[in-house]
Amino acid sequence: MNPDDLKYHKEHTWVKVSGRKATIGITAYAQDALGDIVYIDLPEVDIDIEANSEIGEIESTKATSSLISPLSGRVIEVNEDLSESPEIINDDPYGKGWIAILEIDDVSELDDLMDVSEYEKYVEEEVR
C-alpha cells in the first residue's frame, strides 16, 4: 500500500515534502521488483543534483538499478543506516528505509510528480 501523502516519480522513487526539505526513497513496488537489497551507493552530502538524474545505485540479489532523483536540490542528509543494513529498504521503504533528504531548488517540480492514485495506475500499466 502506497502512502497517499507522498509524491511519486516514474522511476519508482517517492518524495515527502516538509517546507523546502524533501525526503526521498524507493517505492514498495521498486523494492519488491528488486528483491533482497544487498548494497546501496548513497549520494554524497552537499552535492547539487538535478531532477531525473542518477544519484546512486541499488544492488539486489536480482539486479543493479539506478537511483533517480525526483527533484533538483542539494543533498543535506543521507540515511547512513543503509550502508550497514541496506535490507531496511525491503522492510520499511516508506519509513526507516528513506535514502536522502534534499533542500529543494524549485518547488514547482513537484507538479511533475504523480499522486498516489496516478502512481498506482502507472504501476498497473507497467506490469502489463
Residue 113 lies in domain: 7-127
Assigned domain for 52 exists: yes
Pairing of strands 7-8, 100-104: unpaired
Assigned domain for 42 exists: yes
Assigned domain for 50 exists: yes
Assigned domain for 1 exists: no
Assigned domain for 122 exists: yes
Q: Give the per-residue pLDDT at 45.
A: 97
pLDDT in tens, 81-117: 999 999 999 999 999 999 999 999 999 999 999 999 9
Assigned domain for 39 exists: yes
Assigned domain for 94 exists: yes
User: What pTM value is reported for the model?
Assistant: 0.94
The 3-class SS string of 40-78 reads: EECCCCCCEECCCCEEEEEEECCCEEEEECCCCEEEEEE
Quickly state the pLDDT bin for 126 (edges 50, 70, 90): confident
Listing DSSP states for 4-48 in one string gives TTSEE-TTSEEEEEETTEEEEEE-HHHHHHH-SEEEEEPPPTT-E
pLDDT in tens, 2-26: 899 999 999 999 999 999 999 999 9
Instruction: Supply the CATH number for residue 94's domain.
Output: 2.40.50.100
Assigned domain for 2 exists: no
> Residue holding cell 516538509?
18
Number of domains observed in the structure of the chain: 1
Contact 40, 13 (CB under 8 A): no
DSSP 8-state assignment for residue 101: E
